[in-house]
Amino acid sequence: MLGLAPGIRYYPGCFSVEQQAELREEIRKIVQQAPLYVPVMPKTGREMSVRMTNCGALGWVTDKERGYRYQPEHPVTGKPWPEIPQSLLQLWQDVGHYPAPPQACLINFYSDTARMGLHQDRDEKDLEAPVVSVSLGDSCLFRFGGTSRTDKTRSIRLESGDVVVLGEEGRLAFHGVDRIYPGTSTLLKNGGRINLTLRRVTTS
């Protein structure tokens, strides 16, 4: 484990090649039940460059009319989200250092050209719980800063199998993905990157 900044912990190679392949297959089964969709920005309706879905009791969604929120069903199919894989629940126990389990796992798929602008994860009521992030597939350039958008930022290249935890002082750190490095992993047949983020939403 490496400390990148106060409250931001980095676990390089946390998942072995074999564990990554197992997790990939679990994610495929989830996507079959809860298909990827394109989230849009509130008010403007502008499409994000990632496609996404969720698993867990709650899932993060966004649309033009109602904005960012968590809800128990898929916004397209109307069905409940699939359960979070056991390997991710175990990861939360191992690195999350938080007594209550995660309620949501966001699944973001990045194509070669996808990005994620600097943002804070603050749609959760329980901001004491960490955000635990897993990288699968092609490498990315991950950027992170402080709790103000104007704070100085740093960047690190995340590889398939790496884990980053935002907790304590780093829970509300601004962060984002500046680029994907195509062809840096063979985990996903057609390339791209999958990012999984485990979150606790409510305080009870």
Q: What is the mean pLDDT of residues 29-51?
A: 92
Residue 145, pLDDT score: 96
Q: Are 122 and 201 in contact (CB under 8 A)?
A: no
Sketch the domain layout of the chain as residue ranges: 2-199
Q: What is the per-residue pLDDT across 60-105, written as a single tens digit (0 to 9) for each? A: 999 888 889 999 999 999 999 999 999 999 999 999 999 999 999 9
Residue 29 is encoded by which pair of tokens? 């089964």
Residue 124, pLDDT score: 96
Whether the model clears a pTM of 0.85, i.e. scores above it, the answer is: yes
Residue 1, pLDDT score: 82
Residue 65, pLDDT score: 87
CA 38 to chain CA centroid, nearest Å? 15
Q: What is the mean pLDDT of residues 166-185?
A: 97
The single-letter DSSP state of residue 191 is -
Q: Is residue 10 very low, low, confident or very high in pLDDT (cuts 50, 70, 90)?
A: very high
Closest CA to 83 of 61, 52, 107, 99: 107
Q: Are 86 and 74 in contact (CB under 8 A)?
A: no
What's the topology of domain 2-199?
Answer: Jelly Rolls (2.60.120)
Q: What is the per-residue pLDDT across 116-175, written as a single tens digit (0 to 9) for each? A: 999 999 999 999 999 999 999 999 999 999 999 999 999 999 999 999 999 999 999 999
Read off the amino acid at residue 159.
Answer: E
Q: Is residue 45 very low, low, confident or very high in pLDDT (cuts 50, 70, 90)?
A: confident
Q: Which residues contact 24 (CB under 8 A, 6 or more apart)?
A: 136, 187, 188, 194
